[in-house]
Structure 1
């Protein structure tokens, strides 16, 4: 009888320890997932801001080129126009080329 009670007490203590370990692991999992979600959200926000800034710079370069073409300040096919377009594309690190075409292609 005493041995049975002792076994039950040991089993109860082991069950409580197992429950505490399971609870600790569940809490750690939740905290890890929350931290990873915050990290990914921050990374996504930074990437969106970078993309927006790059697109804004590209839009400004394209509008300036359009305006210079409309005012006759830039003549496509000339060395100076090519140099200007190369300088503008160099300022846009995510872009590879900038091509100016007219209505005829």
Structure 2
């Protein structure tokens, strides 16, 4: 596989992942962190880092808007729920092991 095709496939997979996240607004970031070790915010940070490594300036808020499909504050107000005590405890336990 040539580099251009590989890059196109990887970009398409990224878009599919973002679309999947968009279709699962019911899944909270803390749950993703507890299960997979990353969340929408992590993906936003990776997106920003890759842009900047290529000389493209993008703010964290702009990167989050790309991943969330809307400004983060808007997404948070509409879709974020309070994490359960169990989810919070699992997150803290995971952080302690990192």
State TM-score, norm by structure 2: 0.37
* Bigger radius of gyration among the two: 1
Q: Say which structure, 1 or 2, has more relative contact order (CA 8 Å, 6+ apart).
A: 2
